[in-house]
Structure 1
């Protein structure tokens, strides 16, 4: 199976996280873009401050590779106006797809109205600009019951407030890849969590991110019904190698 058009090739480390200079970090992003262009991946996923840089690189290459970014990352606890400001700036800079971290902590404390309002307004912003919105629910922080409920919340908001033609442009996404778990538990997508998402998101598509460490994992996710794979090890996975990175 050719999985390249399912791949969101991802680099979300800041220079401080990576232990690099800004210039060195920019070169990592440049390599990510070059690899995506050469291999025909669907999208490159970078932090908001890198979107304009990536846009310039892709314009030079006259490439159809899309640009994705993350909003309110990685905690998702920001006020709505901050999410919208960051999203607006990313759209202006050239982002095609915006992956919002849902306020899963608000959801866990049953502040459903905040979560619902965030989803409505941020999704509307994306769709009004003909962009794709993805909602990261952070499965490793949730129980099975919470995964089901938060996935259903996103779905029900979209079905209630947006038109049928919009459904395929709003994803539910598993993970940030930055959540810290205990005792070596998975911090990203698992077959179990993705099945729960798929069963409760339809007709919205699902993106599996984090924890996909080889080609077989990716194919299994796609055969389950996943429409995108988020990974920082795209070339290794395509080549059939086993990777150890959390994302």
Structure 2
């Protein structure tokens, strides 16, 4: 059952007491958790102060402090930044989501993903990688998510790769799956791109219209002048000893007719 603070979190809410009550009700508390919570709220009475800290400080939270951060995120009392969310696996999310106001939205998302034919493994991966992070960071319900939110998420993925060198293909694939589910729910109006290069007009979307129009015109003019080069033809030779399959060999150069005629005439 969602806590009372979930619907109207504010810096003046007694988040500390709500967290301790949550630990008691779920039987997950211990002395280390209680001490970590006390230290956290003593240093950051308003969790938004913690969210404004450098990423290194946010990631330095120990294993006893991370549960209170997760609690605040799932109860819409903390938006930690995509840079933080992309560095955390949120491994306990499925156990704790049912006790939060995000649970109903995620359940709806997962049910629709199942109807669309996504396997359980893909549903779980997509659900924990994208919609949960969007719901946490935007602070809005599923019904109010937008394509812009997805774009901000993928931009954060690219920033993370630039900053750390870590790949983000799995996040991009999950974002595409999430957009497809949101489309079928009627929440967004665009299906994800099916693949291939991004069209030039979209890549130049942030360029001023006159400059963009000129660049597109130049691109199109150059594309019309460039003709594709024919691919070289290679004959197959399957008679080579030790080869289990045909091998491509370069075609022998043609000899001048004078030499051909001379070698083919009787001696």
Shorter-chain TM band: under 0.3
Larger RCO (CA within 8 A; separation ≥ 6): 1
Structure having the larger proportion of residues in strand: 1
Return the structure number with greater helix share: 2
Bigger Rg over Cα: 2
Q: TM-score, normalised by structure 1?
A: 0.27
